[in-house]
């Protein structure tokens, strides 16, 4: 007999893969990332295919989280609102099985979406440079897929904790806006960390584009933000496979990703386990 977690994951993956909204998100991901990459690649900074491939995660950093939100925001709360959870619990299925099964199914879907996007960017790399550093590309593809799983885990945790889809969407979108391209992280969180480490909220001596101006505490604090962590750690990941000097802090980066991939799921499960589904 198939384990309930695997059965839920398989059925959930099949249902989610039929969503027109999901595959519309895949198309949007390619439309917004490929042209931007084409504009940046081949220039003075990204003059080689290896540098172009190392840049690929940055081309996707602002788009993976919204796609994960589309993929996973209905994972648990959608079943809760529709009433199908009560039917599911008529079988020998625990709430833990539901959360883990949804996490597994939606993560597999997010990996497929991220891989398709990377294949599109890989084709763009060949078009621009005439070649593709395969080993580095595979490493970057795996890295982007892992990042997609991290954000999917966050959203599944939110979906398990939420009582309505509106709550799930609002919470997931709020996290993305805080950590993402609207500078809320830089405006609100970084000064607070600076105050804790230096006694002052001033960041005047730190140039975000010049790592030579970064104090040690700042390098570690960047890893708290999953999007900054993703961008910064790509150098180290690429360096592991192409022999270049990519930078350190891999342990801190991995720990941050692991916490983001597990803590929201644990909190979501804790709330889901104690919620009244009647």
Model-level pTM? 0.90
pLDDT per residue as tens digits for the range 101-112? 999 999 998 898
The answer as to whether 27 is a domain residue is yes
| Gap between the Cα atoms of 143 and 246, Å rounded | 14
The answer as to whether 50 is a domain residue is yes
Query: How many distinct structural domains can be found in the chain?
Result: 1
**Backbone φ, ψ for residue 108 (5° rounding):** -60, -40
| Gap between the Cα atoms of 191 and 143, Å rounded | 30
The answer as to whether 46 is a domain residue is yes
The answer as to whether 139 is a domain residue is yes
The answer as to whether 26 is a domain residue is yes
The confidence score (pLDDT) of residue 90 equals 67
| Gap between the Cα atoms of 239 and 243, Å rounded | 5
Q: What is the DSSP string of 142-196?
A: HHHHHHHHHHHHHHHHHHHH-SSHHHHHHHHHHHHHHHTTTSHIIIIIHHHHHHH
Domain containing residue 83: 4-180+258-274
The answer as to whether 240 is a domain residue is no
**Rounded mean pLDDT, 148-164:** 95
The answer as to whether 85 is a domain residue is yes
Residue 224 pLDDT greater than 80, yes or no: yes
The confidence score (pLDDT) of residue 30 equals 81
Under the phi-then-psi rule, with left for phi > 0, alpha for psi from -120 to 50, and beta for the rest, what region is 196?
A: alpha
pLDDT per residue as tens digits for the range 19-78? 776 777 778 778 888 888 887 776 667 788 888 898 899 889 988 999 899 888 888 898
Q: What angle do CA 79, 80, 86 make, to 5 degrees?
A: 90
């Amino acid at each position: 007999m198939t384990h309930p977690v695997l059965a839920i994951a398989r059925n959930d993956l099949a249902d989610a893969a039929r969503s027109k909204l999901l595959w519309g998100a895949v198309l949007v991901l390619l439309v917004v990332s490929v042209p931007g990459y084409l504009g940046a690649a081949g220039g003075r900074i990204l003059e080689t295919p290896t540098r172009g491939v190392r840049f690929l995660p940055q081309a996707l950093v602002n788009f993976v989280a919204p796609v994960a939100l589309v993929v996973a925001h209905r994972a648990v709360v959608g079943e809760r609102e529709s009433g199908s959870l009560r039917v599911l619990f008529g079988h020998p299925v625990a709430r833990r099985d539901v959360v883990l099964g949804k996490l597994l199914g939606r993560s597999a879907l997010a990996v497929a979406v991220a891989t398709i996007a990377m294949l599109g960017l890989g084709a763009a790399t060949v078009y621009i440079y005439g070649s593709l550093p395969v080993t580095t590309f595979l490493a970057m593809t795996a890295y982007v897929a892992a990042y997609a799983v991290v954000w999917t885990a966050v959203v599944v945790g939110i979906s398990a904790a939420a009582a309505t889809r509106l709550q799930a969407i609002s919470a997931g979108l709020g996290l993305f806006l805080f950590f993402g391209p609207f500078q809320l992280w830089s405006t609100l969180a970084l000064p607070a960390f600076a105050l804790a480490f230096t006694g002052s909220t001033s960041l005047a001596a730190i140039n975000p584009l010049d790592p030579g101006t970064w104090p040690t505490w700042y390098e570690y604090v960047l890893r708290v933000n999953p999007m900054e962590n993703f961008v910064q750690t790509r150098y180290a990941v690429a360096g592991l496979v192409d022999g270049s000097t990519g930078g350190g802090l891999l342990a801190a980066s991995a720990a941050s990703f692991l916490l983001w991939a597990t803590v929201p799921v644990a909190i979501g499960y804790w709330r889901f386990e104690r919620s009244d589904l009647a």
